[in-house]
Amino acid sequence: MGSLTSGELADSESQVTPFAKAGVFSKMSFWWLNPLMKMGYKKPLEDKDMPLLGATDRACNQYSMFMEKLNGKKQSSSHATPSFFWTIVSCHRCAILVSGFFALLKVLTLSTGPIILKAFINVSLGKGTFKHEGYVLAALLFVCKCCESLSQRQWYFRTRRLGLQVRSLLSAAIYKKQQKLSNAAKMKHSSGEIMNYVTVDAYRIGEFPYWFHQSWTTSVQLCIALAILYNAVGAAMISSLVVIIITVLCSVPLARLQHKFQSKLMEA
């Protein structure tokens, strides 16, 4: 195949998703989606209407970055085998931290709702601390809910995008490794097992960024909720804590049973 001409290259660049060149405001407000949304409003979308991925989201670039990091770790520590997990983390450290920031911001803004509502009740009972406190609280609640909605969508989008990047580089790495397998190794790892690595295991690893932030933010949100509840009702919040603990303990056997059946299904 010959190299692309300047006209074909320019046409290819013009079809890249606007997200690749979007500014901070456009990314935060998802303004870059407007051209595609307008086109979808006018007519049914077809495959040719879908924009191309940006350079950072393409599987070839993700795989190249992963192998560069992995080879660098191999050279720095020749006696130890580098961890695939920490290599992936080092490749996407910035994206993990940014998505974690939005996850934390979502929890904090969500937790301000009950506090502001309690202040509203005090104002309605004539216990306001300053003049026009109701207007200030209304404006504060509006800002907090806007920040909550914005941070939640950024958290979801960034973790899902990160998961797809990880899945693409793992699929490319497995494909490259399959091409280098010897006949003896292919006897140990069937095509079905290799496809299982790509479709199931890579998918699960790709889901990890979202559920990682979901796990620790749930703990933070639970602690904040218990603190707010204790401030509101006092020691009576212990009964709520007991119910939560019992619910978690009851869900553990069911989760293990589900995992057991799912593992047997995948083996079959």
Answer yes or no: are the C-beta atoms of 11 and 51 closer than 8 Å.
Answer: no
Phi then psi for residue 52, to 5 deg, are: -80, 155
For residues 239 and 115, give the distance between their C-alpha atoms in angstroms, rounded to a whole number.
21
Secondary structure element (H or E) that encloses residue 71, with its range: helix 59-76
| Domain shared by 45 and 167, yes or no | no
Q: Is residue 25 part of a domain?
A: yes
For residues 69 and 74, give the distance between their C-alpha atoms in angstroms, rounded to a whole number.
9
Angle 105-106-112 (CA atoms, 0-180°, nearest 5)? 90
Give the chain's length: 268
The per-residue pLDDT for range 43-62, each reduced to its tens digit, is 888 888 888 888 888 888 99
| Domain shared by 150 and 216, yes or no | yes
| Domain shared by 24 and 108, yes or no | no
Domain boundary among 10, 28, 52: 52
Q: Is residue 219 part of a domain?
A: yes
Composition of the chain by helix, strand, coil, percent to 5: 85, 0, 15
Q: At a CB cut-off of 8 Å and minimum separation 6, what does 73 contact?
A: 82, 87
| Residue 232 DSSP SS3 | helix
Q: What is the pLDDT along the chain (268 residues), one digit of tens a residue?
A: 444 454 444 445 668 888 888 888 888 888 998 988 898 888 888 888 888 888 888 888 998 998 888 888 888 876 677 788 888 888 899 999 999 999 999 999 998 888 888 888 888 887 777 788 888 888 998 999 999 999 999 999 999 999 999 988 888 888 887 777 777 766 766 666 667 767 777 888 888 888 899 989 988 988 888 888 888 777 777 887 888 788 888 888 888 888 777 767 666 5
How many folded domains does the chain comprise?
A: 2
Tokens (6 digits) for 215:
């796990």
Distances in whole angstroms, Cα of residue 38 to Cα of each of 41, 49, 65 = 5, 12, 35
Q: Is residue 259 part of a domain?
A: no
For residues 195 and 162, give the distance between their C-alpha atoms in angstroms, rounded to a whole number.
22
Q: At a CB cut-off of 8 Å and minimum separation 6, what does 150 contact?
A: 28, 29
| Domain shared by 4 and 89, yes or no | no
Tokens (6 digits) for 242:
């007991």
| Domain shared by 65 and 196, yes or no | yes
Tokens (6 digits) for 142:
């509006």
Compute the CA torsion angle 17, 23, 29, 32 (nearest 10 deg): -20
The per-residue pLDDT for range 74-95, each reduced to its tens digit, is 888 766 777 888 888 888 999 9
| Domain shared by 129 and 180, yes or no | yes
For residues 107 and 116, give the distance between their C-alpha atoms in angstroms, rounded to a whole number.
15
For residues 34 and 268, give the distance between their C-alpha atoms in angstroms, rounded to a whole number.
45
- The boundaries of the domain holding residue 11 are 1-52
